[in-house]
């Protein structure tokens, strides 16, 4: 019977803002490298992935700012949960 988890898969650890930004930069650099000149679709996908990561970093930063500024404890808790419990 199949399971959702692979026995040889390592669970991913949550990435911080710096790690996500670095990943986006690496993906963008790879997309712009000579390696993908003959594979424009794959280069475009890498650029799109990098842009999505950049958007996620911006959104998480905005949620963190709002959680820091909100006065209602329930709202703050909800916003922190959106961030995975991060402060």
- Cβ neighbours around 50 below 10 Å, total: 21
Instruction: Going residue by residue through the chain, which has 87 residues, state the pLDDT in tens, using 9 for 90 and above.
Output: 455 555 566 766 778 899 999 999 999 999 999 888 899 999 999 999 999 999 999 999 999 999 999 999 999 999 999 888 766
The residue with tokens 């990943």 is 23
Question: What is the value of pTM for the model shown?
Answer: 0.74
Distances in Å between the Cα of 27 and the Cα atoms of 37, 55, 80, 87 are 14, 14, 28, 27
* H helices present in the chain, as ranges: 17-32, 40-69, 73-82
Distance from C-alpha of 79 to C-alpha of 75, rounded to nearest angstrom: 6
């Amino acid at each position: 019977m199949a399971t959702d988890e692979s026995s040889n898969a390592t669970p991913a650890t949550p990435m911080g803002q710096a790690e996500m930004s670095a990943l986006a930069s690496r993906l963008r650099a790879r997309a712009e490298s000579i390696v993908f000149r003959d594979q424009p679709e794959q280069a475009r996908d890498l650029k799109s992935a990098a842009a999505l990561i950049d958007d996620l970093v911006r959104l998480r930063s905005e949620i963190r700012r709002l959680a820091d500024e909100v006065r209602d404890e329930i709202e703050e808790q909800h916003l922190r949960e959106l961030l995975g419990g991060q402060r």
